[in-house]
């Protein structure tokens, strides 16, 4: 069960409690809850963006390009092996 699912389950339990029901009906509180639930995604986006900026600043190749190069080298190695076996 994910953190979001746990929070939602516990939130539903709390919402049925009379003492909490009044707070749960406050739109400001619900806005705060929704903001808290969206934070992991926002944080992930921010770290991905910062990582890309750092890699660009230091001149490192993006992972996609590294993966493409690995596939190309593997393909060339296979072709070389095939040619050696053939010839």
Q: What is the pLDDT of residues 17-55, one digit of tens each?
A: 887 777 778 889 889 988 988 888 888 999 999 988 998
- Number of neighbours of residue 24 by Cβ within 10 angstroms: 15
**18 vs 6: CA distance, rounded Å:** 21
DSSP assignment string, 11-77: HHHHHTSHHHHHHHT-HHHHHHHHHHHHHHHHHHHHHHHHHHHHHHHHTPPPHHHHHHHHHHHHHHH
Look at residue 78 in the predicted model and tell me its pLDDT. 97
What is the token pair recorded at 12? 């539903």
pLDDT band at 77 (very low <50, low <70, confident <90, very high): very high
- Structural domain of residue 10, as residue ranges? 3-86
Count of structural domains within the chain? 1
What's the chain's average pLDDT? 88
In this prediction, what percent of the chain has a pLDDT beyond 70? 100
Look at residue 72 in the predicted model and tell me its pLDDT. 97
pTM of the model: 0.43
Cβ neighbors of 33 (< 8 A, separation 6 or more) are 11
């Amino acid at each position: 069960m994910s953190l979001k699912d746990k929070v939602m389950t516990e939130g539903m339990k709390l919402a049925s409690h009379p003492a909490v029901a009044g707070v749960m009906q406050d739109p400001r509180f619900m806005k705060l809850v929704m903001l808290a639930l969206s934070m992991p995604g926002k944080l992930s986006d921010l770290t991905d963006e910062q990582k890309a900026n750092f890699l660009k600043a230091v001149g490192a190749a993006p992972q996609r390009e590294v993966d493409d190069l690995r596939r190309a080298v593997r393909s060339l190695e296979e072709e070389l092996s095939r040619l050696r076996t053939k010839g």
